[in-house]
Chain A
């Protein structure tokens, strides 16, 4: 468990960090929380020549909601900041639902939301929530900033659409059209385990009508699975038992799980269906309660 030799930089500005990456020609690696990178270094799965630690760069810890309702999450916002956030609980229930399920409490104190997106683990929780919510990732390189849709951000297991000399500086989640509802459910063998299967469901509701439905899954494919199209069967509809079941079946159909020691592909697909059903049913029930109240 001894990493290969690497140089370590702790730049004070984004520009400086990007210059180091640019100079590194693909052999430098950004470290934010380090909760995935350090184990990979220790196991020698990754042997970068340089590690560029961005923790010294100021003003990246934030998460805030703009006046128009857009959520912005800075590159050094820790999982824990979202877990205990007072501003996302009602406005972004899908994120709030996932925040306390990301890894374990120890890792959540240090690991970052954006870093987790960049790690692009097929079993990662945050990618699924971002795709379901139709979020974007802002990346900055020598030529300036650009935005990448969350659904286009991950190209494959541990591979993103970023260039070697770019840093993901912010995640952006658009405001809901109407009331934001939804949730995140994950089957894990133990707290801190990766998902055997998980689903992120994000709904924008106008009264009892779904104006936008988003969904993505982790752990049930070679990468995070975009199920936005599948769940769009709910678009313009109410959360009736039949509509919920139809949506759950549609989402499960696009899951692409593999049989492994965590379960058969059929089992994982069944879990996806069950979990989508549960999130939607719980939303439907909570809406009913509100209506009654």
Chain B
């Protein structure tokens, strides 16, 4: 019998078309807003027009008068049910509907539930709120001033606007390294606020059934199981009477990890009205009130030896978390995995200090397409490395090669305690350099200068920690970060797979089937994947931080192996030999020494329901919970070549080469799609995106005319390459990859532009590198720092 061709059954390495796309491109997806329940009501939220104010009064009487209005909720009504405040995923509290004060523009103040959303909006407009405005704090620099107004006066023992002080590393050893340095290179920069901007905004439909006592909530959540636990606690409902369903999600990017007030209000509204209540926010509401990314001031320095060796690293971060500390991160690490910075470089000692502050902005600092702050960590790293190479007068690639962790150094313990376990960093960089023509660039650049053209080349190399946990170190509000998969093989050999992850566009329905196909030889098309319903899916921590493949994907492989182990017993029974005499090849067991005599996995499945050996349980299904032994450590080497127009500051990408080593690729096409999507977002951050605030805390740019999402027109082409270093601990050798490009991408663009203009003496232009900022740097030779100013004359 010819063995199965794994690519033909859609197994590992097959660039299978995404099965979910069939419904998405036909408009047949099933998103929260597509769901219509009988007798459903609609909710709209009234938001604060000001950033910081005491609420003197709220008059809802005119709203109640609008025909079709069923319920009007304010902080007062929420408070009567102990729901005016809710706990966050970072051990803070957040206002559901404001009672005492509003603390950011766009904060939820009241809600109207009506027969249709138009009526609800009309009634919202009729609510009169009297505000007594207070001075606003719009950045963490203001927040730390001694005379700064106290934002969180609701909290006992909160005397200032500081949320946390956190540090890691060896300060004394690092100080010593700096004392011994030949050269010290410094850089400070701001990673501007950006927004995850899923195409589908957040929303929920709460459906409380008084007869059964059961609450079902359809919700835009990347982590429905965490939400179930939180809802049970907040709403004081028994957990088995709470069902959270995340249907199709139109992107998440970290924006759909936090729990938003709208969800909670819709739940109470359904309990009170005993009818389903739908709430779906608008684009502007998403931009102004939900979890933003970044907004961190980073400064640091490298202790350098003349020959280029990095002796030590010091870094400080000051982060803006908005009015409530609500961005999820592993409990132990207050600023996420910021301390993974410089993990790809061999640095003997390092020290990191982080401070977080409340400001009068929406709660945020969420991990926008990154593993808990690694985007900021790696951006700073690669900008710092760029500056240091220049300070030493060394070539950018050469400086990196002197310091990259070598292939023979794994497992490698970083100065901050991470254990990187695999990679071929130099090789990735070499592949990228060859592809972009690095060796001839200097000549190209000089020749272009003679013609009045400014060319630049930028490098970004990094490894990042993807796939939290292990559970020893990683938890969110105490829940350990493992994940799960449940596999049911039906009697005809078709199968149903469920995991605790939740796809938002990552293509789980496609790739999970490929893992099962690889492990069991069941064709991928014979496997259906379900996620997101807490009543049916096994418990899992959800999808973010590139953790699906490293954790849930591993669980899929492990549950498949459990199935295979049972099928082996059945095969032995069918073949009438002992289990020890059975051999496995893809999709089939056979008798050792007699390959012709065998049974397929489908034969075993049928027997599991029709011909069970004595002493074996019927059926062929199982569940696996997977607690990864370590994070996975993919590597990226990105090189970008740009041309800057000196007259306008406009820059164009001439070539972009991305080399990704994410270990074994389950579906190469999906990996490439992830990299291209991430690079597109990276390009947008580097080039055009910002959300800023005026002195009063008014958000400038809370719409998609000001906050720009890149389109196919201006996004440059990307040339992708791969290097494969399997993950040593993952059952199929895979590493996370979904976020590598967003994380490593921005520095490649910025370093390229800087390379084109730094002959003027400029050292740093903060993102976004809009034409006017690049032009200013070219004209003045000085740094351009901070957010673009708001209207000023």
Contact = CB atoms under 8 A, between A and B. Distances in A.
A131 B711 CA distance: 31
Contacts of B776: 264, 267
Contacts of A263: 770-772
Interface in B644-662: 647-648, 650
Given A259-B792, A261-B690, A189 B708 contact: yes
A6 B701 CA distance: 28
Interface string B616-643: 0000000000000000000000000000
Interface in B692-729: 692, 700-701, 705, 708, 710-711, 713-714
B623 to A, nearest CB: 43
Contacts of A105: 713
A1 B284 CA distance: 9
Nearest to A4: B122
Contacts of B510: none
Given A262-B770, A263-B770, A187 B791 contact: no
Interface in B92-143: 117-118, 120-122, 125
Contact of A1 (B282, B772, B792): B282
B774 to A, nearest CB: 11
Contact of A261 (B44, B121, B284, B700): B700
Nearest to B645: A274
B161 to A, nearest CB: 26
B168 interface: no
A168 B771 CA distance: 37
Contacts of A261: 690, 692, 700-701, 788-791
B282 A259 contact: no
A4 B771 CA distance: 39
A194 B788 CA distance: 17
Q: B282, B650, B700, B775: which has the most chain A beta carbons within 10 Å?
A: B775
Nearest to A185: B648
A5 interface: yes
Nearest to B704: A192
A5 B690 CA distance: 34
A264 B700 CA distance: 16
Tell me the dominant secondary structure on chain A's binding face: loop
Contact of A258 (B125, B687, B791): B791
Nearest to B116: A2
Tell me the dominant secondary structure on chain B's binding face: loop
A271 interface: yes
Contacts of B120: 2
Contacts of A187: 648, 650, 771
A154 to B, nearest CB: 20
B708 A259 contact: no
A260 interface: yes
A280 to B, nearest CB: 14
Contacts of A267: 772, 775-776
Contacts of A5: 118, 122
Contacts of B713: 104-105, 190-191
A91 interface: no
Interface string A237-281: 000000000000000000000111111110100110010000000
A193 interface: yes
A189 B688 contact: yes
A100 B789 CA distance: 30
Nearest to A263: B772
Contact of A260 (B118, B711, B775, B791): B791
A4 B120 CA distance: 11
Interface size bucket, B side? 35 or more
Interface in B739-783: 770-772, 775-776
B793 A189 contact: no
Nearest to B690: A261
Nearest to A42: B282
B398 to A, nearest CB: 35
Nearest to B790: A261
A274 B648 contact: yes
Given A262-B770, A267-B776, A190 B121 contact: no
A184 to B, nearest CB: 16
A140 to B, nearest CB: 32
Contacts of A189: 687-688, 708, 770
Contact of B791 (A191, A194, A196, A259): A259
A208 to B, nearest CB: 25
B771 A194 contact: no
Contacts of B791: 258-261
Contacts of B789: 259-261
A189 B689 CA distance: 9
B470 interface: no
Given A1-B282, A267-B776, A190 B714 contact: yes
Contacts of B121: 2, 44
Contacts of B331: none
Interface string A1-15: 111110000000000
A193 B118 contact: no
B452 to A, nearest CB: 14
Interface string B670-703: 0000000000000000011010100000001100
Interface in A192-225: 192-194, 196
Nearest to A257: B793
Contacts of B788: 261-262
Contact of B772 (A44, A190, A262): A262
B645 to A, nearest CB: 9
A190 B688 contact: yes
Contacts of B688: 189-190
A2 B118 contact: yes
A105 B712 CA distance: 11
B426 interface: no
A152 B713 CA distance: 35
A190 B706 CA distance: 10
Contacts of A192: 711
Contacts of A4: 122
B384 to A, nearest CB: 27
Contacts of B390: none
B354 interface: no
B710 A190 contact: yes
A190 B283 contact: no
B793 A258 contact: yes
Contacts of B772: 196, 262-264, 267
Given A263-B770, A263-B772, A193 B283 contact: no
Given A2-B44, A2-B121, A104-B711, A259 B770 contact: no
Nearest to B775: A267
Contacts of A190: 688, 708, 710-711, 713-714
B138 to A, nearest CB: 14
Nearest to B201: A1
A192 to B, nearest CB: 7
A162 B712 CA distance: 38
A187 B648 CA distance: 9
Contacts of A104: 711, 713
Interface of B: 44, 117-118, 120-122, 125, 282-284, 647-648, 650, 687-688, 690, 692, 700-701, 705, 708, 710-711, 713-714, 770-772, 775-776, 788-793
Given A191-B714, A261-B690, 9 more contacts: A104-B711, A189-B770, A190-B713, A191-B711, A260-B792, A261-B701, A261-B788, A264-B776, A267-B776
Sort A-B residue pairs by CB-CB distance and give the 10 closest, nearest first: A263-B772, A191-B713, A1-B282, A261-B788, A2-B121, A267-B772, A190-B708, A2-B118, A259-B793, A260-B791
27 contacts: A1-B282, A1-B283, A2-B44, A2-B118, A5-B122, A43-B284, A44-B121, A105-B713, A189-B688, A190-B708, A190-B711, A190-B713, A191-B714, A193-B708, A196-B772, A258-B793, A260-B790, A261-B700, A261-B788, A261-B789, A261-B790, A262-B788, A263-B771, A264-B772, A267-B772, A271-B648, A274-B647
